Chain A
Amino acid sequence: MTLIDWFYFPARLAWRQLVFDRTKLVAAIFGVLFACVLVFMQLGFRDALYASAISTALKLNGDLFLMHKQSEALWRPVKFKRTELMRALGNPAVAGVYPLYLGLAPFKNIETQTKRTLMVYGFDPDSQIFSVETIRDQQAGLKLKDTVLFDEYSRPEFGPLRQLLQAGRNITEINDYKIAIIGLIKLGVSFAADGNVVTSELNFMRIFPKRDRGDIDLGIIKLYPGASIKQTQAELRLRLNEFVHVFTYEELLQYEKNYWANMAPIGFIFGFGTIMGWVVGLVIVYQILFTDIANLRNEFATLKAIGYEQGYFIRVVFASAFFLAVLGFVPGCALSIGLYHLAESQIFMPMPMTLHKVVTVFAFILSMCAMAGFLAIRKLKAADPADMF
């Protein structure tokens, strides 16, 4: 007997039995589809969260970054002294140091007058610490008093800024301080902030009158071309106070990501949701396979009586599980692609359907169905050919 026949015959029987009872087949497919969509959405939201959480950090332009060790993440920084950043200038590899100020403040919607909190970034417009072209293009405008650039990826609750700016209505209040929006940029929102504006450090101090220029949230260090980032990082760690982290660009992104994955309960919540999807799907598929075996007990016992071996029936059950996995996954994946698009258009979160995700979820669903099959085959022992006479 060839390997193909070894699997083909039981698979064919499993298929014929599956399609015989259409109602049950549809119910089973919906069960797998449900689990599939649940897992896709959980992973999609989780990845979108990670992607958006680091969207600002991703656009920072620097070689090394100073952050207070008590800072959990960029969006809730612990301030440290600007002089600490200045000390880095003592290293001969350091070309320049630039502070970044962050603050959450209410932004007044120009149309509805309602206030909603967004993140305000204050920096030296000449420093080019953002690798965002639109910021560089408008750095001259930012040097003027009371001007900001608005992130057009911000949630729509802040108002249709693009249309308003075209109509010349660009005056609003941040933290009850009147400012003018002089342009739009593309930065990206996160779970921490629904919107962003960037402004000069002087304007930042005007918006937040209680902030002190000497207390900074993040320090950005640029090195001379050709300088070793790793070596300078090691030197700065020795030289600077122990309360600051000296991060490379990648380390900063990783630190931000870890916050959402581990420190915040969000990583756990999505992980838990994923597992729940797996368990719910498992129970559904198990129930279907189990009742199938129970109903077909006589048929299996008959086949055993005419000489079929136990292994044949195990292959029948696993083939059924495999068919259910595929039949549920295909529509589940299609539906998830639709839902990803919906989520992208409705909540403005990046939710790409990557091949990696498709493969991951399929493996997940396959393992779920295999596990269900594994649990269900114990029921096969109930098929005793001696009962057939």
Chain B
Amino acid sequence: MTAIIDVDRLSFSFGSGVLVQPVLKDVTIAIRQGEIVLITGPSGSGKTTFLTIIGGLRQAFHGSVKVLDQQLVNSDEQVKIKVRQQIGYIFQQHNLLKSLTALQNVSMTLEMGNTLTEQQRLERSAQMLTAVGLGDRLHYKPDQLSAGQRQRVSIARALVGQPKIVLADEPTASLDKQSGYEAVSILKQLAKESQTTILLVTHDYRILDVADRVVELEDGVIKAV
């Protein structure tokens, strides 16, 4: 099976001239469909930068990054938007829209494609929220939910569009051990059911066992695969 994410000698640096600060150096990695890959490493090792480039949120200039067969290095905005729409994101903070209910937040993902009716969107969002165990919290606003519940809403938001890839950045950072493990387990279970690839950045060693593969990044270089 070909790689769904294919990174070849990717280099990235912040700043310019004498202040240039390399973040990623010749990173090469291939991730297959359905794989769950954890990227660990100390802060400042470039994990998050790596994730933002894969997700089409940051522009890279050297090397090659092919995500879903789209070249993201030196790409234009339209290519990146197209890639973003096929990726589910889970952020360190939940980043839910605080004026919307859980249900409305989740269906925001479906409003983009607009292939469904309002009824279908709400049904699918409700199903997804039920799948993450929030079937009884559909009409709660984020500030009426606990931190763990919010993160589960954001998992539902990431998965409801049936993305091929889910990118997660420290999804357990703001959660206690139990709700963190719960959230990641739900993520893993739902992803395995739909053959979704997950790229998860963390330095939470409690959740390493959900991974098919652990990659350690240090000073912009992959240390162990």
Contact = CB atoms under 8 A, between A and B. Distances in A.
Q: Are A and B part of the same complex?
A: yes
Interface of A: 1, 5, 9, 13, 16-17, 19-21, 298-299, 302-309, 385-386, 388-389
B92 A389 contact: yes
B100 interface: yes
A17 B99 contact: yes
Interface string B76-115: 0000011011111101110101111000100011011010
A305 B89 contact: yes
11 contacts: A16-B100, A16-B104, A17-B97, A299-B98, A302-B97, A303-B108, A305-B91, A307-B86, A388-B57, A389-B57, A389-B201
B166 to A, nearest CB: 11
Interface stretch (B2-10, B48-56, B176-184): B48-56
Contacts of B192: none
Contacts of A303: 97, 108
Which 10 pairs show the lowest CB-CB distances between chains A and B? A20-B99, A307-B85, A307-B84, A302-B95, A389-B169, A386-B58, A386-B57, A385-B57, A17-B99, A389-B48
B52 A386 contact: yes
A298 B173 CA distance: 18
Contacts of A308: 112
B52 A389 contact: yes
A143 B111 CA distance: 84
Given A302-B97, A388-B95, 6 more contacts: A13-B97, A19-B99, A21-B99, A299-B97, A386-B57, A389-B52
Contacts, number: 70
Interface of B: 48, 51-52, 55, 57-58, 81-82, 84-89, 91-93, 95, 97-100, 104, 108-109, 111-112, 114, 157-158, 169, 201
B57 A20 contact: no
Given A16-B104, A299-B98, A306 B85 contact: yes
A9 B111 contact: yes
A19 B111 CA distance: 20
A1 B114 contact: yes
**Secondary structure call for the A interface:** helix
B81 A299 contact: no
Most B-side CB within 10 Å, residue of A5, A309, A388: A388
A21 B141 CA distance: 13
Contacts of B111: 9
Contact of A306 (B51, B84, B98, B201): B84
Contacts of B87: 306-307
A5 B108 CA distance: 13
B51 A389 contact: yes
A189 to B, nearest CB: 54
Contact of B91 (A1, A302, A309, A386): A302
A304 B108 CA distance: 12
Contacts of B89: 302, 305-306, 388
Contacts of A389: 48, 51-52, 55, 57, 91-92, 169, 201
Nearest to B111: A9
A120 B86 CA distance: 84
Given A16-B99, A298-B95, A299-B97, A307 B57 contact: no
A200 B147 CA distance: 90
A373 B150 CA distance: 32
A12 to B, nearest CB: 9
A335 to B, nearest CB: 29
Contacts of B81: 307, 309
Given A5-B114, A306-B109, A307-B81, A388 B99 contact: no
Nearest to A14: B99
A326 B97 CA distance: 25
A5 B100 CA distance: 19
A141 B98 CA distance: 80
Nearest to A312: B112
Contacts of A21: 99
